[in-house]
């Protein structure tokens, strides 16, 4: 008799321990990657696409959405099968899941969003190689339940997208005088707006190295705002 009550009580405690969907811990999963644990500026993952896909804001936004989609699905599916995955081949399993998802995204885009798929061209395939995705699978999804994994995926891809959009904002604005393809500084070929006064686009802004400079400035600003991020050596 005493035993059963104990079991019952244990069950009760377990039920109580079930956390709400948006508990403080879960909210942190989303907010952390946006700032103090940003995948690009703090963990320095996914830098390659931050350099390559940031010449135009439109491409950066679409890329972020594609990464968001792939990362959520990958995180959730890996989390669902986390107890089945043999430890020795877990990286390969992750790779297979990510690659399959990316191919699905690519195929669906080609069929139903043809223009977007043309816009992204090779970058969709390159999502496979994005370190953030494998990093999150390995570091989080393998050890957590599906729901927190989904939140973690949302947080990290938003953190990634945020940096991409900010970098592309400066690159497109100063590189070609446009935002989302709209002319902000006037027309360079017809010499209107700012260009009439002798302003010129900065060609360096269109090239990958300028992303490094912008990301570096971003990190600098971030660390001034939050000194706890500065590593002490």
Partner 1 sequence: MAINKDSNTYTISFAIILVIIVGGLLAAIANGLKPIQDENLVNEKKQNILNCLPGNKSITRDEAGSVFANFVKQRVILNYNGEIKENTLLDNSTELNNKDSRDAFSIDLLKEYKTIKDEKSRNYPLFICDVEGKTYYVAPVMGKGLWAAVWGFIAIDESGNSISGTVFDHKSETPGLGAEISQDFFEDQFIGKLISNEETYKSVEVNKPGNPLNDYQVDGISGGTFTSVGVEEMMSRTLVVYHKYIKNLNRS
One character per residue 117-156, x = contact with partner 1 (rule: CB under 8 A):
----xx----------------------------------
Residue 172 within binding range of partner 1, rule CB under 8 A: yes
Residue showing tokens 């969907």: 21
Position 87 contacts partner 1 (CB under 8 A): yes
Whole-number minimum distance, CB 110 to partner 1, in Å? 5
161 binds partner 1 (CB under 8 A): no
* Residue 59 and residue 178 in contact, taking contact as beta carbons nearer than 8 Å: no
| Residue from 154, 166, 194, 206 binding partner 1 (CB under 8 A) | 206
> Which one of the spans 41-49, 65-73, 148-156, 172-180 is the region binding partner 1 (CB under 8 A)?
172-180
Nearest distance, CB of residue 69 and partner 1, angstroms: 15
Could you give phi then psi for residue 130, rounded to 5 degrees?
-70, 120
In the bound state with partner 1, the residue whose beta carbon lies nearer, of 22 and 114, is: 114
The tokens of 104 are what? 């699905």
Phi, psi at 192, each rounded to 5°? -110, 170
C-alpha torsion sign, points 126, 151, 32, 93: negative
**Counting contacts by CB under 8 A, is residue 215 touching partner 1?**
no
Site string for partner 1, 24-63 (x = CB under 8 A): -----------------------------x-xx--x----
Q: How far apart are the first and last CA of the chain?
A: 60
Q: Please, what's the b/e burial string for 151-189 (b: 16 or more CB within 10 A of its CB; e: otherwise)?
A: bbbbbbbbbbbbbbebbbbbbbbbbbbbbeeeeebeebe
Residue 37 has what DSSP assignment?
T
Write out the residues near partner 1 by the rule CB under 8 A.
Answer: 53, 55-56, 59, 84-89, 92-93, 96-97, 100, 103-104, 107-108, 110-112, 114-115, 121-122, 171-172, 175-176, 189, 203, 206-207
């Amino acid at each position: 008799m005493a035993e059963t009550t104990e079991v019952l009580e244990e069950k009760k405690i377990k039920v109580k321990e079930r956390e709400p969907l948006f508990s403080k811990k879960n909210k942190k999963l989303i907010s952390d990657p946006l700032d103090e644990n940003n995948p690009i500026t703090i963990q320095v993952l996914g830098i390659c696409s931050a350099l390559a896909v940031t010449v135009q804001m439109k491409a950066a936004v679409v890329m972020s959405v594609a990464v968001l989609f792939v990362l959520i699905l990958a995180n959730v599916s890996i989390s669902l099968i986390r107890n089945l995955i043999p430890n020795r081949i877990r990286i390969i399993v992750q790779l297979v899941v990510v690659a399959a998802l990316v191919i699905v995204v690519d195929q669906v885009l080609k069929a139903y969003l043809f223009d977007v798929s043309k816009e992204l061209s090779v970058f969709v395939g390159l999502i496979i190689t994005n370190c953030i995705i494998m990093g999150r699978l390995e570091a989080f999804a393998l050890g957590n339940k599906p729901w927190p994994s989904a939140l973690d995926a949302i947080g990290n891809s938003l953190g990634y997208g945020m940096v991409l959009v900010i970098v592309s904002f400066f690159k497109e604005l100063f590189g070609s005088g446009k935002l989302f393809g709209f002319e902000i500084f006037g027309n360079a070929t017809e010499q209107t707006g700012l260009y009439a006064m002798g302003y010129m686009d900065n060609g360096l802004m269109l090239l990958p190295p300028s992303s490094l400079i912008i990301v570096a400035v971003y990190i600098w600003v971030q660390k001034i705002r939050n000194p706890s991020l500065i590593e002490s050596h």
